[in-house]
Amino acid sequence: MNIKEILNWRYSTKEFDSSKKISNEDLQKVKDLLQMSPSSTNIQPWHFIIASTEEGKKRVAKGTQGFFSFNEPKVMNASQVIVFCSRTGADENYMQHLLEVEDKDGRYPNEEIKQMVYGARNIFANMHRYDFKDLQHWLEKQVYLNIGNFLLGVAALGIDALPMEGIDLKALDEEFKLREKGFTAVAAISIGYRNEEADFNSPSKTPKSRLPQEEIFTILD
Ligand SMILES: Cc1cc2nc3c(=O)[nH]c(=O)nc-3n(C[C@H](O)[C@H](O)[C@H](O)COP(=O)(O)O)c2cc1C
């Protein structure tokens, strides 16, 4: 599929075919997508909980009770559901850890460049921590960027997805003890394969709708 076909093929899948599972090979590509997303200053403030089994999905479904129960079948019938978690802070230990991983990956030809990147990353983090006072929000924005990257990426693999903000994030934090670990849940994404027949939202039944290009672009000549 070319990019236009992928953009039109993907849609928020509301009915998954529970009999179809993502292969191990494709699951590895899914993990690669999650790992390789860009983030500001390469801060990568994320963690992902991937549930494949009934038991695992039931744990994630603790976030789809009560008001959020409309999303429960989308969790339980999916092949996998992924909880996207954001760091709640970026302390010195974490900044050093990032630097060491980058060093090991061969990013730094010398100590001077390494320290320059360390300084630059801290300037950005401190700008959000102190000047804008939105460090946690900034970190979560990076996780949303990962979500965007992920939605297009899985579609390119022919995998359907449903992003869910309609989920009890506090319940997920509690279930997976995320806050104690310095994280908080920001959204979940179910992945698998569409049940075209059953899904009212499939593009063949409910065409996609977007604001027209004349409205959303200002083209400077
Ligand atoms: C961050 C985010 C959260 C969403 N949360 C939900 C949700 O909780 N439940 C749901 O059924 N759809 C959810 N959606 C789906 C959107 O309604 C859908 O992406 C939008 O209408 C555009 O349609 P499309 O994804 O089919 O192109 C969410 C989408 C995004 C990007």
Class of domain 3-89+143-216: alpha beta
CB proximity list for 50: less than 8 A, separation 6 or greater? 31, 56, 80, 81, 82
Q: What is the DSSP letter of 132?
A: S
Residue of 64, 165, 201 with the most ligand 1 atoms within 8 Å of its CB, for mutation = 165
How confident is the prediction along the chain (221 residues), in pLDDT tens digits per residue?
899 999 999 999 999 999 999 999 999 999 999 999 999 999 999 999 999 999 999 999 999 999 999 999 999 999 999 999 999 999 999 999 999 999 999 999 999 999 999 999 999 999 999 999 999 999 999 999 999 999 999 999 999 999 999 999 999 999 999 999 999 999 999 999 999 999 999 999 999 999 999 999 999 99
Tell me the sheet residues that pair with 190.
81, 162
**5 catalytic residue (yes or no):** no
CB atoms within 10 A of CB 106: 7
Tell me the sheet residues that pair with 48.
84
Q: Going by CA atoms, what residue is nearest to atom 20 of ligand 1?
A: 12
Residues with CB under 6 Å of ligand 1 are 11-12, 14, 71, 162-166, 187, 208
Instruction: Assess contact for 52 and 164: CB atoms under 8 A.
Output: no
Q: What's this model's pTM, rounded to 2 decimal places?
A: 0.97
Which ligand 1 atom sits closest to the C-alpha of 151?
31
Determine the Cα–Cα distance for residues 204 and 193; give it in Å rounded to an integer: 15
Q: State the angle between helix axes of 135-156 and 24-36 in degrees (0 to 180), rounded to the nearest 10.
A: 140
What are the extents of the domains in the chain? 3-89+143-216
Instruction: Assess contact for 22 and 131: CB atoms under 8 A.
Output: no
The catalytically annotated residue of 5, 165, 170, 205 is 165
Q: Going by CA atoms, what residue is nearest to atom 30 of ligand 1?
A: 163
